[in-house]
Amino acid sequence: MMMTEYIILNEENFDRTVEDAADLILSGKLVVFPTETVYGLGADGLKGQAVKDIFKAKGRPSDNPLILHVSSVEMLDRLIESRSELADILIDAFWPGPITFVFKKSDRIPDEVTAGLDTVAVRMPNRKFALSLIEAADTPIAAPSANTSGKSSPTTAMHSRYDLDGRVDMIVDDGETDVGLESTVLDLSEEVPMILRPGGITFEMLSEYIPNLKVDGNIVNQSVVPKSPGQKYKHYAPNAEAVLFTGYNEEIVKNINDYIASHPDRKIGILATRENVDKYIGENLKVIDMGSQSELIEIAHNLFASLREFDDSDVDLILSEGFEEEGMGLAIMNRLKKACSNYIIKGRE
């Protein structure tokens, strides 16, 4: 165990915190910092030992590679062999922002970062503190989501503190993250670009620039082996058993109510949309309103925090409404399917 310094960021301490955090990063230490997607567990991405310490702090399998975070395209160029024309267009359109690109890597990157792959994942985050920190340290910062491996990604610094207190050197609290789900991972290292993980930048948004864009088969059908190492692991697992319900809205509500009725002895949590919160009937229900069906951005923002809220309660069964797998719905459903270990009750459709 180590002492974890916990800093609540404000205007007054911003510059000093950037400096302190950058000093820690440069001396091989671990810093939890906010990005616009989720909190990251950062270390100097060019120091093999510091990167090893990330894996240790999270309990992360060492064959799951990390994302390097940069603050400029010039910093990206130090990490890769070359940039395609398409990469330039996508960088212009979406960086800084919630999308990670996978490139062929240069030899400068320690094997610990890429888990021995010949490619590297890079992202420029769109959050003032994150960009200032990377710029001040002037080194790419390797950062997975700042949670214990297998749990939901942290959308507040307190989530990270709960998981990592005593395992990192500093936690910087800058309030809630914006997107609430991890970045889209787009593989640009092969002939045809492929989404390896859906996220804040959607398939539809990318298709405007990439007519032949593919989605890893695993995202739609989880019995297909995923291309991205991280997608094969158990993820987002709440403490309680969880079940996902898909189909038409009325079917979802009816099937959830039937499930509640047939499990009278369970303390049930419902991940509901605003339109349905008042439709569930039962004794021991804890219903969380994740947001409106017409605002999937709001649902994405609230999803992980809602799962953690159930962990803090006495709920022993979670029933979640499902969503259409388009737009932001693809990323939301990807996380929900994992949280529910792929246990899905389908409507007739």
48 binds ligand TXA, rule: CB under 6 A: no
SS3 category, 67: strand
Q: Indicate the Cα dihedral angle 267, 251, 330, 271, nearest 10°.
A: -20
Residues 236-275 that bind Mg ion (CB under 5 A): none
Looking only at the bridges linking them, the beta strands covering 241-246 and 344-346 are parallel
- Among 87, 120, 272, 336, which residue sits at the site for ligand TXA (rule: CB under 6 A)? 120
Eight-state DSSP code of residue 222 = T
32 binds ligand TXA, rule: CB under 6 A: no
145 binds Mg ion, rule: CB under 5 A: yes
Cβ–Cβ < 8 Å for 116, 5? no
CA-angle at 310, arms to 147 and 66, nearest 5°: 15
Closest contact distance (angstroms) between CB of 13 and ligand TXA is 22
In angstroms, the first-to-last Cα distance of the chain is 52
- Among 17, 100, 160, 320, which residue sits at the site for ligand TXA (rule: CB under 6 A)? 100
Residues 206-265 that bind ligand TXA (CB under 6 A): 228-231
Q: Indicate the Cα dihedral angle 71, 74, 75, 81, nearest 10°.
A: 140
The helix-helix angle for 296-311 and 157-164 (nearest 10°) equals 30
Closest contact distance (angstroms) between CB of 150 and Mg ion is 9
CB of 100 or CB of 145, closer to Mg ion: 145
185 binds ligand TXA, rule: CB under 6 A: yes
CB of 172 or CB of 253, closer to ligand TXA: 172
Contact positions vs Mg ion (CB under 5 A): 145
Contact positions vs ligand TXA (CB under 6 A): 35, 37-38, 40, 64-67, 100, 102, 114, 117, 119-121, 123, 125, 143-145, 182-183, 185, 196-197, 228-231
